[in-house]
Structure 1
Amino acid sequence: MGKQNHDQNKNPNQNKNSNPNQNQSQNQKFNPKPHSNPNEEFDLRETAPRLGGGRFPGNDRVGTAFDLVEQMHYLFVRVVKAKELPKKHNDQFPDPYVELQLGNFRGHTKHFEKVCNPEWNQVFAILKDQIQATSIGFFVKDKNDNNKDHFIGNVCFDVCEVPKRVPPDSPLAPQWYRLDNKEGKRSQGELMLAVWMGTQADEAFPEAWHLDASAVSGDGVANIRSKVYLSPRLWYVRVNVIEAQSLRISDRNFRQLELFVKVELGKVVLRTKNSSSRTPLWNEDLMFVVAEPFEEPLVLSLVDRQSANKDEVLGKCFVSLQNVEKRVDLKFATSRWFNLEKHGTGDNGAKNEGKLNSKIHLRICLEGGYHVLDELTHYSSDFRATARQLWTPSIGVLELGILSAQGLSSMKHKGGNGSTDSYCVAKYGQKWIRTRTIMNTDSPKWNEQYTWEVFDPCTVITIGVFDNQHLQGVDKGGGAKDSKLGKVRIRLSTLESDRVYTHSYPLIVLEPSGVKKMGEIQLAVRFTCTSLVNLLQMYTQPLLPIMHYLYPLSMHQIDSLRHQATQIVSTRLSRAEPPLRKEVVEYMLDVGSTMWSVRKSKANYCRIIEVMTRFTAFCRLFNQICMWKSPFITVLVHILLLVLVYYPHMILSTMCFTIFMIGISKYRFRPRHPPHMDIKLSLAHITHGDELDEEFDTFPTSKQGEVLKMRYDRLRCIGSRIQVVIGDLATQGERVHNLLSWRDPRATSLFLILCFISAIVLYVTPCRVIAVLMGFYVLRHPRFRHKLPSTPLSFFRRLPARSDSLL
């Protein structure tokens, strides 16, 4: 709360913009009001939640106060271990476990078989508002198969006497307590416990077993806890197959040779073109994606195609990626000759390996100067190169408070009633977070806060909401998939620095039956800039690492590599505990967003038309001036024309000053809210059923008829390319419009300052000098040109567009 008060004193207007009517909103709960217009239920709504303070799980700055979520108080109980428990009547060790009783709440630790000194080390958390008892009891019992567990001893505490703990205080030390029997007398055995009052800022909060999850047991407990994931570092593997020598080819029929090299990395197989020479020369580049740590070797096979159905492997070589050179600059890797080995199977089934004199010439390197995974999408959360040597210092911190949700759709049935077990996933950069699962409610309250370092403001954070279908454990899900409830994308450059944005975002999902609102999620977002100079300098830098411009990849390579990267990330995250499953990762990464869709093509067409209407509006205005619709304005234009004719040096300065004044006048109407999913922009609310059926159709199509299938697939493949081109054209037009729209306040400020300075410089500089300088600059010699994008072009590419709001 101290940081929040400091921010309010530093900028009083900031809090006024972010939370109007603050005095009345401190106790106001999130309760969206119904709207009469059915389209308004998909709109963004500003809220005024009650925010608190504390340090939250998943943050990267230990000991720093955060204030983007409501502070919730919990009673934490840590059951550590027991010792010297009595034996059974048959002189056997007990099967002990601890039962926690607090009013109607019952919680159980796991039980151990035949041990008198068990160690549980389990944490329970009970929300303070749900406590309806004055005492809490711990009952140590011996588990029996006949469901009549034997009582060993108990310990009781008064809830009012439980101490409070506020981080960054050290964790409360557990203590030994002697067990009492049913008569309240001392019995054999002791129990180590720690009981305290805390908030979700406590270190024990992520691992605690919560009250609403008391029905979950076994492996399902791991699937409901909040976790932080790190996606693996991805590298491009460039394999340049140059040539081969000293080949042993058995060719008695003097047929034309068809030699090629097949390269395998995991499940991905690529091959070179065919060569008919006995000393083949290919000089082809094959690109792969690999993640650290490098687990699988690179396998190269020299193959002779003898017939359409018969290939002979002339030799193989295995290359460990641990020993491959890492390329982080513009220098080419060193080429090497590799020996080929002959692999065969003996009579007894054993594998035989024989060395050959054949060699293959390769240049293999790990490309660290590229950015992997997100270069195709408009929703990238990171533009840094893979190699850490090329990273720049951070320019700020992004703080996200996941508060609550309202009106979530029921995704399953329990006891005849609909229920939803929801959790959130947020992705930014390499860091993924997952909140805890709140069970059996359509209005969950998470109140968890997370932070990310920001290295580029023109990036997007994605927040998705899912229904947990794996509460019975990892191996008992029966192939179930977590259901998606919608997602939100927020571009950081559209946020003002140090301002808290508290809004309710609609959760929208497009289904074959049409667009559907699955509920609303309430978020608190703040972007804090640590270095304004570095932040503004980022607008003049190339968007992607320089390798993308000096050695660009083809569209076919980008499609293939992004598919590989997506599969690698989903596989690695699904191996975590708890797993972040494939369907979740693919939904967050927008897999299949470039596939053909009539709806998306129409939406991009409408975007282009809307951009063009601004130019047609200017033409209509000019025509009205020529037709004397407004005599006063027409006379002013005549006077301006005479002034510019007699003083031509004022033309450019007047244009820049006019743009400056238009931008200043639009400051009052600047967007006050972050962008969100827009069903009107996506045309999701007016799409016909047959178009949705085509959009959700499989690829290749599942329609009947071979001719229909061939033509339909070809149309969708071509249409997807056209769709991307149309979307890119619309994006460029929207970026021109956003120069003066204050959608990105920092970029508009830079542009207006440049226009103002240009107006002054152009006014004091003779127009002839400017014309000569501009002409000489445009006609400059190629040796004075640079391969990297110019500063204006880099600035333009960083401007936001409405593509962030597309479904």
Structure 2
Amino acid sequence: MTAGNLKLGVDIVSAYNLLPKDGHGSSSPYVELCFDGQKFHSTTKEKDLNPVWNESFYFAISDPAILHSLTLDAYVYNNVKATQSRTFLGKVSINGDSFVPHSDAVVLHYPLEKRGMFSRVKGELALKVYLTDDPKVKPSVPLSAPSATRHTFRTLPKHEDSEKHNHHPPAAVEPLHQGTKYVVDEMKAPEAVPPRIVRMNSPGQPLDFALKETSPFLGGGQVVGGRVIRTDRAPAGTYDLVEKMHFLFVRVVKARDLPSMDVTGSLDPYVEVRVGNYKGVTKHLEKQQNPTWNVVFAFSRDRMQASVLEVVVKDKDLLKDDFVGLIRFDLNEVPFRAPPDSPLAPEWYRLVDKKGDKIKGELMLAIWIGTQADEAFPDAWHSDAASSIDSAAASSSLIRSKVYHAPRLWYLRVNVIEAQDLVPTDKSRFPDTYVKAQIGNQMMRTRPSQARNFNPIWNEDLLFVVAEPFEDHLILTVEDRVGPGKDETLGVVVIPLNAVERRADDRPIHPRWANLEKTALVDVDQLKKDKFSSRLHLRVFLDGGYHVLDESTNYSSDLRPTAKQLWKPPIGILELGILNASGLHPMKSHDGKGTSDTYCVAKYGHKWVRTRTVLDNLFPKYNEQYTWEVFDPATVLTVGVFDNNQIRDRGPNGANRDLKIGKVRIRISTLETGRVYTHSYPLLVLHPSGVKKMGELHLALRFSCTSLVNMLHIYSKPLLPKMHYVRPFSVMQLDVLRHQAVNIVATRFARAEPPLRKEVVEYMSDVDSHLWSMRKSKANFFRLMSVFSGLLAVGKWFGDICSWKNPITTVLVHVLYLLLVSFPELILPTVFLYMFLIGIWNFRNRPRHPPHMNTKMSQAEAVSPDELDEEFDTFPTTRNPDLVRMRYDRLRSVAGRIQTVVGDVATQGERVGSILSWRDPRATSIFVAFCLAAALVLYVTPFQVVAGLAGVYLMRHPRFRHRLPSVPTNFFRRLPARTDSML
């Protein structure tokens, strides 16, 4: 959009079920819009609690750069003409981050909010909010006299307007943007203090598989216990989450006036950059005496053992490349550059021969020493690849670090209702019809119509997953089953997805009639159109009110709906520093020795990141840092390590698969705000021979909260968008849709450069987590037993009391029991006070590190070879005979469902156990405070009053119930479970 013409459009559509305010059971409402110092009024609807306006207003946007910090406020007032006053009916506030272009805008019904603690409101306001740069649309013109029944415009006083426009976020938050790699401090940390390593072992977990807390030097100081202990040489405020690495950057821009080398007078030049044993080479350009390359080479300072840099220009030849000229540089004279300094300007250097005499030709270069925070770092050719790959062009595209953004996914609903006037080939029989719907590789079909006539009825819903930008067409084909294995096409409807209506809430979508096209071909590009009277009645729309589950719900990294106008502001920033890996197992053989070419992939929300590939190194150092915006703490960050198999000995069409080395999952809610977590995570992978440790991955994490109130408020909100509860999906539908979504994301990432391969996307998304496994079933069973072990312990304790095993304890229990029977009003305060004291007591033993995969709990240590063979067997099975295969697959499918149910039950019990365990420090703080307040309230409130109110509330009329989950339910669903530790 053009920034100069950018305007905010607001369509005031209607309101519903407003609160009566005039004393006669009605109100005379109007809407007041406020945005960027401008104010407009709608017309007044006399005595109407369900008014309809359909009025449009356009606000001028003074500075689009601060649009994200602005807010649109819509106030609903009751116009009291008798007293020339107004009463408040409710308000709606919409953040600038949720504004979308006009093509994406839909009508949303916003619930009216209170203005103060004691105000009383109800009802909804329907608005359509969008951005437009259409030059034909002009901002609304201000009127001279404001009136409650006319549109008015007001500009805020100058000091108010300037305050709003000069508002900036705090300095600590301002530089935190997505995809940013932070600048590291230039000072080296003292090497005299070794890093502290603390092993933290779970019960029964082998020590080698345990998490380790480390104390590395990250930029400005050493991390100890989650805090940075600064050094004398590092000024405050300059540390980061990665260790600083120095690189020698050489930018080869272009050359001019190069001499002719061949007899024909032509020249095929290329540049060779040499530092000691490391060499980087550009592409050769045919017949160019003034070539342009614009390539950046990065040489690690830690591996350089030379003091001279040589830049050599050569002429490509069939037998032996000719020397053209060179330039030498003393590395001690190379300047240091660190952002935010501007990039170093390249200069022309005169070529010299091998004796040092000047010759014809010049080369434009820029040479500096920087860190991984340099802008040139991601796209540079790295010296790590020099020993294995001679061509910069062949390696740079496959080893670079990149940021990927997953496409925005929508659910496409196709409601096939009926057909009219079908014309079969054989008119002597009634057709046996069904409808086949296809989008790209996705295909679904309805059941055959029960009505055997020329006007069949289906009324079935078909669900698909589609991604923006919409490139495919929806093809609906009416088929007639003529005989076994023989179907006849009766008509086709082709609908472009760009023309499909979008919906962000549960408002009804009206069906439409579509003309069927008679054709013998289904190919949209080769349709032979033959108009006739057959029609298809259907309802098609894109549903953006859901969160499209592209991964397992237990490990979901994003819970927002698809429609951007439903998004809420972020509650914090997640920073991840991928430091290094150590002790990796060799994944391939090269030059007679085992080696690995590893890279890391981190996934959170729609943003995926990939580090550069470090070649031929079992102890790679990445030291790359990335950030994400956090919208919900009940989400999981996933980091995986892979071996790049696309560089050496590539198969046909790059068919070699990237091998998985291991992954780490970290739930955001288990991280304390502001603390720096530095741990070494063991990379555990289950192989057909058993569980193996493939190495360790060293990460640094920090979760920064932008608003503590907003984050605590999130715990009272539903976990998923509203549509998941209003119109829920079945388990079978979710499995199919998730499989479609993962395939779409993998296809899009495969088209990037470098591509993120399908096996990587599937491994990061836990695509096979729903499949049957005897090991997983046993693990979930023992999880369930662990949950109920608390109840068994209480029963055993009570049995000991009854058997007078400990007389003193038994007497005390009898006294307490008689006391509570005599004063029943003390039962609930005592229970809540007891839970409060338990929570306070457990605070000192609260977990101090994120959870990690537990091989003991996952039953990965004692699994038998036969069970492993079953788990790694393909689905469907490859075992013979065919009858056994069919029964075996059916058994695995049913057992997989049972496994999921048992795991879900165990998850609920584990959430109960985590309330007072400080696993999620914010949730435990909320519950402990609630217990204290409840104990005090219940102490002064008669028990009969509490019991009566509770019973009346539980048996309240459905009119007073809400379709969304209650606040306690939302709080409970956000509590962490031990699923994060499942392998």
Q: What is the TM-score normalised by the length of structure 2?
A: 0.76
- Counterpart position of 1:99: 272
Measured in 2, the distance between the counterparts of 1:583 and 1:66 equals 36
Measured in 1, the distance between the counterparts of 2:278 and 2:448 equals 71
- The equivalent position to 1:143 in structure 2, one of 277, 299, 316, is 316
Which is helix-richer, 1 or 2?
1
Measured in 1, the distance between the counterparts of 2:841 and 2:198 equals 33
Which deviates more from structure 2 when the two are superposed, residues 486-495 or residues 218-227? 218-227
- Matched ranges for 1:62-141 at <5 A: 67-141=240-314
What displacement does 1:307 show?
1.1
- Determine helix, strand or coil for the equivalent of 1:680: coil
- Counterpart position of 2:439: 265
Q: Deviations over 1:120-145 (max 9, x none)?
A: 11111111122222221111111111
- Determine helix, strand or coil for the equivalent of 2:628: strand
- Counterpart position of 1:197: 369
Measured in 2, the distance between the counterparts of 1:519 and 1:538 equals 37
After superposition, the Cα gap between the structure-2 partners of 1:351 and 1:474, relative to the gap in structure 1 and judged at 3 Å, is farther
- Counterpart position of 2:792: 616
Measured in 1, the distance between the counterparts of 2:262 and 2:190 equals 65
Runs of at least 5 residues in structure 1 that lack an aligned partner in the other structure: 1-5, 8-22, 55-63
Measured in 1, the distance between the counterparts of 2:287 and 2:905 equals 71
1:784 aligns with 2:960: yes
After superposition, the Cα gap between the structure-2 partners of 1:793 and 1:351, relative to the gap in structure 1 and judged at 3 Å, is closer
- Counterpart position of 2:606: 430
Matched to 1:178, the amino acid is R
- Counterpart position of 2:938: 762
Measured in 1, the distance between the counterparts of 2:868 and 2:352 equals 67
Measured in 1, the distance between the counterparts of 2:254 and 2:587 equals 39
Q: Deviations over 1:343-386 (max 9, x none)?
A: 2379xx98632112111111110010001124743100000000
Matched to 1:640, the amino acid is L
1:534 aligns with 2:706: no
1:224 aligns with 2:399: yes
After superposition, the Cα gap between the structure-2 partners of 1:197 and 1:778, relative to the gap in structure 1 and judged at 3 Å, is same
Q: What is the TM-score normalised by the length of structure 1?
A: 0.93
What displacement does 1:26 show?
7.5
- Matched ranges for 1:340-379 at <5 A: 340-344=516-520, 352-374=528-550, 376-379=552-555
| Counterpart contact for 1:53–1:68, Cα < 8 Å | no
What displacement does 1:405 show?
0.9
- Counterpart position of 1:697: 873
- Matched ranges for 1:336-735 at <5 A: 336-344=512-520, 352-374=528-550, 376-472=552-648, 478-735=654-911
What displacement does 1:645 show?
2.3
What displacement does 1:24 show?
9.4
Which deviates more from structure 2 when the two are superposed, residues 387-396 or residues 100-109? 100-109
After superposition, the Cα gap between the structure-2 partners of 1:386 and 1:466, relative to the gap in structure 1 and judged at 3 Å, is same
| Counterpart contact for 1:259–1:302, Cα < 8 Å | yes
| Counterpart contact for 2:209–2:693, Cα < 8 Å | yes
Runs of at least 5 residues in structure 2 that lack an aligned partner in the other structure: 1-171, 174-188, 222-236
| Counterpart contact for 2:588–2:596, Cα < 8 Å | yes
Matched to 1:221, the amino acid is S
- Determine helix, strand or coil for the equivalent of 2:518: strand
Measured in 2, the distance between the counterparts of 1:650 and 1:668 equals 28
- Counterpart position of 1:48: 215
After superposition, the Cα gap between the structure-2 partners of 1:316 and 1:688, relative to the gap in structure 1 and judged at 3 Å, is same
- The equivalent position to 1:240 in structure 2, one of 415, 432, 444, is 415
- The equivalent position to 1:158 in structure 2, one of 330, 348, 366, is 330
Measured in 2, the distance between the counterparts of 1:249 and 1:478 equals 48
1:742 aligns with 2:915: no
| Counterpart contact for 1:34–1:41, Cα < 8 Å | no
Measured in 2, the distance between the counterparts of 1:434 and 1:623 equals 58
1:180 aligns with 2:356: no
Measured in 1, the distance between the counterparts of 2:899 and 2:190 equals 48
Measured in 2, the distance between the counterparts of 1:780 and 1:305 equals 53
| Counterpart contact for 2:550–2:742, Cα < 8 Å | no
Which deviates more from structure 2 when the two are superposed, residues 506-515 or residues 207-216? 207-216
After superposition, the Cα gap between the structure-2 partners of 1:26 and 1:588, relative to the gap in structure 1 and judged at 3 Å, is farther
What displacement does 1:625 show?
2.3
- Counterpart position of 1:10: none
- Determine helix, strand or coil for the equivalent of 2:876: coil
Measured in 1, the distance between the counterparts of 2:238 and 2:938 equals 50
Which deviates more from structure 2 when the two are superposed, residues 640-649 or residues 696-705? 640-649
Count of residue correspondences: 774
- Determine helix, strand or coil for the equivalent of 1:730: helix
After superposition, the Cα gap between the structure-2 partners of 1:474 and 1:286, relative to the gap in structure 1 and judged at 3 Å, is farther
Which deviates more from structure 2 when the two are superposed, residues 38-47 or residues 478-487? 38-47
| Counterpart contact for 2:214–2:679, Cα < 8 Å | yes
| Counterpart contact for 1:376–1:558, Cα < 8 Å | no
Which deviates more from structure 2 when the two are superposed, residues 791-800 or residues 615-624? 615-624
Measured in 2, the distance between the counterparts of 1:440 and 1:32 equals 29
Q: Deviations over 1:273-303 (max 9, x none)?
A: 2122321121111000001011110000111
Matched to 2:420, the amino acid is Q
After superposition, the Cα gap between the structure-2 partners of 1:168 and 1:53, relative to the gap in structure 1 and judged at 3 Å, is farther
Measured in 1, the distance between the counterparts of 2:753 and 2:651 equals 13
After superposition, the Cα gap between the structure-2 partners of 1:206 and 1:513, relative to the gap in structure 1 and judged at 3 Å, is same
Matched to 2:329, the amino acid is F
Measured in 2, the distance between the counterparts of 1:711 and 1:794 equals 41
Measured in 2, the distance between the counterparts of 1:680 and 1:31 equals 23
Measured in 1, the distance between the counterparts of 2:521 and 2:571 equals 59
Matched to 1:461, the amino acid is L
- Determine helix, strand or coil for the equivalent of 2:718: coil
Measured in 1, the distance between the counterparts of 2:559 and 2:257 equals 58
| Counterpart contact for 2:551–2:742, Cα < 8 Å | no
Measured in 1, the distance between the counterparts of 2:582 and 2:643 equals 14
Matched to 2:444, the amino acid is L
What displacement does 1:419 show?
0.5
After superposition, the Cα gap between the structure-2 partners of 1:66 and 1:373, relative to the gap in structure 1 and judged at 3 Å, is farther
